[in-house]
Amino acid sequence: MRIAAAALLATLSALPAAADTNIAGHWTFSANVADDCEFDGQAFLEKTGDGQFSGEVTARQSCPILEEDYLVRQECAASKLGNQLSVRCRIVEFLSGEETAFYYPDNFTLTIESAVRMHGALVSSGMAKPAEWVRAERGIS
C-alpha cells in the first residue's frame, strides 16, 4: 500500500499543479455553436485576487441563417477552482450587428489543461456547446 501511495504521489508531483498555472493574459477561443456557423473571438484575463480574474471577451458570430454577423464586446469575471475556470460575462456593446435581446452573454465553463490551452463549454441561451481557448500570440501577461 505504501508503494502504491508513493507511486501516486510521484506521478502527481510530476504534473504541473493546475492551481499554479498562469492563465492571465491574451487568449483566442472558438466554439461549435451550430452547423454552418462560426463562433470565435479574443479574450483577456487579468488576475485580481486568489483564484479571481476580470477581463474582456470580444466574440464574433457568423451564421448564414442570420441577417447579419455579430461582433460583441463583453466584460467578464472569472473564478478558478483547481483546474476549473468559470467565466461569466455581460454585454457591453454590439460592435457589429444590430443590438438584440436574442444575443445572450457568452459564458464559459473550462478545464485548464495548461498555460496555453483550456477546453470545455460555451454556455449561452440555456445551451452548452464545445469550446476551446488557446493562448494568443501575445502570450502571458
How many angstroms separate the CA atoms of 63 and 42, rounded?
18
Task: Kindly report the average pLDDT of the chain as a whole number.
Answer: 87
The answer to whether the beta carbons of residues 77 and 88 sit under 8 Å apart is yes
pTM value is 0.83
Q: In sequence order, which residues have a C-beta less than 8 Å from that of residue 17 and are 6 or more positions away?
A: none
CATH fold of 20-140, please?
Answer: Lipocalin (2.40.128)
- Residue 17's pLDDT is 52
Backbone angles phi, psi at 59, to 5 degrees: -110, 140
Q: Taking the domains of the chain in order of start, what are their residue ranges?
A: 20-140
Q: Is the dihedral of CA 31, 129, 44, 69 positive or negative?
A: positive
